[in-house]
Amino acid sequence: MSDQQNTILGLKLPTDPRWVNLAEMSLQDILTDHAYCEQKAASNCISLIQRYPQHQRLVDELAPIVTEEWGHFRMVLSELNKRKLSLGKQRKDLYVNELMTNMQKGGHPDDRLLDQLLIFALIEARSCERFRLMSEELEDEYLRNFYRKFMISEAGHYRLFLDLAKTYLPHEKVKKRWKEWLLIEKEILENMEIRGDRMH
| Tally of structural domains, the chain | 1
Residue 8, in any domain of the structure: no
pLDDT tens column, 128-150:
999 999 999 999 999 999 999 99
Residue 197, in any domain of the structure: no
Residue 15, in any domain of the structure: no
pLDDT at 8: 55
Alpha-carbon torsion (123, 125, 126, 129), positive or negative: positive
The CATH number of the domain where 62 resides is what?
A: 1.20.1260.10
Distance CA 109, CA 104 (A): 10
Residue 14, in any domain of the structure: no
Contact 91, 67 (CB under 8 A): no
Residue 54, in any domain of the structure: yes
Residue 69, in any domain of the structure: yes
pLDDT tens column, 84-93:
999 999 988 8
Residue 28, in any domain of the structure: yes
pLDDT tens column, 36-94:
999 999 999 999 999 999 999 999 999 999 999 999 999 999 999 999 999 999 988 89
Which residues form the domain of 39?
Answer: 20-190
Q: What is the pTM of this model?
A: 0.93
Residue 170, in any domain of the structure: yes
